[in-house]
Structure 1
Amino acid sequence: MESGAIVTKVADLNYGKQGPGVVKLVVAVPESLEISSARMIKPGSRVATEYPNLTQSYFSNLGIPVEIQFSFGATEAKVPELTDVVVDLTETGSTLRKNGLKIIDVMLESTSELIANKKSFADKKKHDDITAVQTLLLAVMRARGKVLLKMNVPEAALDAVISMLPSMKRPTLSKLYNTDYYAIETVVDRSQVNLLIPQLKKTGAEDILELAISKIVP
């Protein structure tokens, strides 16, 4: 939007520094000012931002002439000595608050996306390469927060253990050679695993392994 580029959206990546969620382009001013809306900003105010075109358009629509200053990072640290207003991208607003700023308006909301040049995406060879990148990126993201559990289970406890196991489809089951034990493996949420393992042990599972997963390709 800042550059006016016309692109093809390939995939919504749905991640950020604080985890999945939305990022916001916001207008912020010092907490000490009695300002609660961008409409209250004085004409001629200095506005520091890494998004000058979006910012100029926003204040033009409000009918407020401002002085746009392009910022090369650490925008929030420039108030009030170098600028009066900040337009910055944030997820939680914590960095702005640490620098004594308050958010008075949200210009837009966005998520992380994989995008492609339209001509490149229409080209068969480049389209296949872009799709391969998409597949690998999404595979890594699907694996975040997941672990692989492997265990050995006696036949007598098999049904009870399987009933406890979450799974992407069905747990993988194979009989151990020349025993009445079965090997089970399944993918579970990392957030559940510390509560699940003691219960599995109590129910009869043995030799439990928890393994990291780097990619999940459906």
Structure 2
Amino acid sequence: MQQLKLGIPKGSLEKATISLFQQAGWNITSRSRNYFPFIDDPDISCALVRSQEMAPYVANGTLDLGLTGHDWILETQADVEEICELTYSKSSDQPCRWVLVVPQDSPIQRIEDLEGKTISTELVEFTKRHLVKKGINAKVEFSWGATEAKVVEGLVDAVVEITETGSTIKAHGLRIVCDLLHTETRLIASKTAVNNPVKRKKINQIATLLQASLKARQKVALKMNIPADRLDELVKMLPSLHAPTVSHLFDPKWFALETIVNSKEVRNLIPQLMEAGAEGILEYELRKMV
């Protein structure tokens, strides 16, 4: 088949994206000083592209498929097909936020206070449109980097910056006024590729396995042995997709039980299971969950 041209976001999301693809079943190997990583699938070719430029390249057909933030789709207003949402980042699985940031002692307390002010950001067009919708007349300048420093040094009145937790912003002595946009990674495709049945099938395969990999990150499997006389009690304690898998052991006084639970529940659940008589409890990670 004609190769599917896949864009991998270069920069902060690069390692996280390659890791996600590896979990999904594709090994992508970056090459030193090379913008075309190797992927172990003859039906796919890869290119490293900045997230900010991904949507236009997909829209014009240079790439068939790519991963980029919803923020950059909105910024460029590129005409692409959004295949699915993939919430992951370089350090967490939480959506990022574009926030309005000012110095701690700034008189700006709400977005309406930006009237007549100067703002610096990489997300220029989205910010301009957002202010127009609010009826606010302000100057929005493009920032080539070190955006937070501009407001610290008093070069601008405010900045619109991306953050996950806000901790870096606070560490610089700045204050978040409000959120402008919550964003996450999207798998996007060109409309030409989507209308090609062969490429569409490959796109669906990639989307399914990437989503299955992310879903599996939120779950773990638990196995344990439970006494027969405590079976009903223990089963009621265990959340699962439908019902736990229960099987007889050679000893008729014991059962083996297996279930899938949210990973965040395990730290509380295991002590409770032990108190209820469960033994030999095993926890293991999942690779995919469809």
Aligned to 1:2, what secondary structure does the other structure show? helix
Matched, 1:51 2:123: yes
Q: Does 1:179 align with 2:270?
A: no
Q: Which residue of 2 aligns with 1:165?
A: 238
TM-score of the aligned structures, taking structure 1 as reference length: 0.80
CA 1:6–1:158 in structure 2 vs 1: closer, same or farther (change >3 Å)?
same
Aligned partners of 1:175 and 1:182 also within 8 Å = yes
* Residues 124 and 140, structure 2, Cα contact 8 Å, conserved in 1: no
Residue 83 of structure 2 is matched in structure 1 by: 10
* Matched positions, count: 213
2:107 paired residue number: 34
Against the structure 1 CA distance between its residues 152 and 89, is the aligned structure 2 distance closer, same or farther, given a 3 Å change threshold? same
The question of whether the paired residues in 2 share the 8 Å contact of 1:56 and 1:68 is answered with no
Structure 1 residues 36 and 197, CA gap change in structure 2 (3 angstroms): closer
Residue aligning to 2:262:
189
Q: CA deviation at 1:145?
A: 3.3
Q: What is the aligned partner in structure 2 of residue 116 from structure 1?
A: 189
Deviations 1:1-20 (A, max 9, x none): 11120122222334555544
Determine if contact 1:147/1:210 at 8 Å carries over to the other structure.
yes
Q: Could you say what secondary structure the match of 1:34 adopts?
A: coil
Mark the CA change 1:206 to 1:76 in structure 2 (over 3 Å): closer, same or farther. same
Distance (Å, rounded) in 1 between the aligned partners of 2:131 and 2:269: 54
Give 2:105's aligned amino acid.
Answer: S
What TM-score do the two structures reach when normalised by structure 2?
A: 0.62
Change (3 A) 1:120 1:44: same
Deviations 1:91-127 (A, max 9, x none): 4433222222223454434344333222222222222
The partner residue of 2:168 within 81, 95, 104 is 95
**In the alignment, which residue of structure 1 is the partner of 2:150?**
78
Equivalents in 2 of 1:69, 1:79: separation in Å? 13
Over 3 Å counting, the alpha-carbon distance change for 1:165 and 1:57 in structure 2 is closer
* Structure 1 unpaired stretches of 5+: none
Equivalent residue runs for 1:59-74 within 5 Å? 59=131, 62=135, 64=137, 66=139, 68-72=141-145, 74=146
Q: How far 1:209 sits from its partner (Å)?
A: 1.1
Contact (CA 8 Å) 1:48, 1:83: kept in 2 or not? no
Give identity over the alignment, percent.
37
The higher-RCO structure (CA 8 Å, 6+ apart) is 1
- Specify which of 143, 147, 154 is matched with residue 220 of structure 2: 147
Change (3 A) 1:82 1:117: farther
How many Å separate the matches in 2 of 1:54 and 1:70? 14
Q: 1:48 to 1:165 in 2, by over 3 A?
A: same
**Cα distance 1:108–1:165, how it changes in 2: closer, same or farther (>3 A)?**
closer
Bigger radius of gyration, 1 or 2? 1
Change in CA separation of 1:108 and 1:197 when aligned onto 2, cut-off 3 Å: closer
Give 1:208's aligned residue: 281
